[in-house]
């Protein structure tokens, strides 16, 4: 399994390297369309290699996906925390009830059950 993971990482790295070498040309990157940027005064243009634009877009998409899932699962995690607290409370209550339960009539057995024997 370890070798499969290393093979996957190597193939992925090689594919990214080939992608970067094949897309070295600089492309203009704008924050807004030209007309809207000129209207708002935000007509900045950056010249970036195409592979950076591609990989940056993929990384941004993955980040947005992680954040989206984190927010989506927030309710589930909150419910799980509440259930864990309830389980802890019920286990504590069960331990108290077991201690209050009438123990064995024999003193030796009572000492052994309480861990003092």
- pLDDT, tens digit, for every residue of 69-93? 999 999 999 999 999 999 999 999 9
Query: For residue 26, is it within any domain?
Result: yes
107 is written with which tokens? 């003193």
Backbone angles phi, psi at 47, to 5 degrees: -100, 110
Say how far apart CA 51 and CA 47 lie, in whole Å: 12
Residue 15 lies in domain: 2-101
Higher pLDDT, 34 or 77: 77
Tokens of 30: 């704008």
Q: Is the residue at 107 inside a domain?
A: no
Q: Is residue 53 part of a domain?
A: yes
Task: Read off the pLDDT of each residue in 20-34 and give the average, rounded to a whole number.
Answer: 91
Q: Is the pLDDT of residue 4 over 60?
A: yes
Answer yes or no: pTM beyond 0.85. Answer: no
In total, how many domains does the chain have? 1
Please check whether residue 113 lies inside any domain of the structure.
Answer: no
Let me know if residue 114 belongs to a domain. no
Query: Is 111 part of a structural domain of the chain?
Result: no
- Does the pLDDT value for residue 52 go beyond 80? yes
Instruction: Report the pLDDT value the prediction gives residue 103, as an integer from 0 to 100.
Output: 56
Q: Would residue 95 count as lying in a domain?
A: yes
Percent of the chain with pLDDT over 90: 63
Where residue 38 falls among pLDDT bands split at 50, 70, 90? confident
Whether residue 92 lies inside any domain: the answer is yes
pLDDT tens track for 95-116: 888 877 765 567 777 777 776 5
Give 108's contacts (C-beta < 8 A, 6+ positions apart).
Answer: 117
For residue 66, give Cα distances in angstroms to 10, 75, 78.
24, 15, 18
Answer yes or no: are the C-beta atoms of 101 and 113 closer than 8 Å. no
């Amino acid at each position: 399994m370890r070798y499969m993971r290393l093979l996957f990482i190597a193939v992925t790295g090689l594919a990214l390297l080939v992608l970067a070498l094949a897309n070295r040309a600089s492309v203009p990157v704008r924050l807004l369309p030209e007309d809207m940027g000129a209207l708002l005064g935000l007509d900045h243009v950056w010249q970036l290699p195409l592979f950076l634009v591609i990989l940056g877009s993929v990384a941004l998409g993955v980040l947005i996906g992680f954040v989206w899932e984190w927010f989506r699962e927030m309710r589930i995690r909150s419910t799980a925390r509440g259930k864990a607290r309830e389980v802890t409370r019920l286990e504590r209550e069960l331990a108290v009830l077991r201690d209050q339960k009438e123990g064995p009539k024999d003193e030796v057995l009572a000492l052994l059950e309480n861990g003092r024997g």
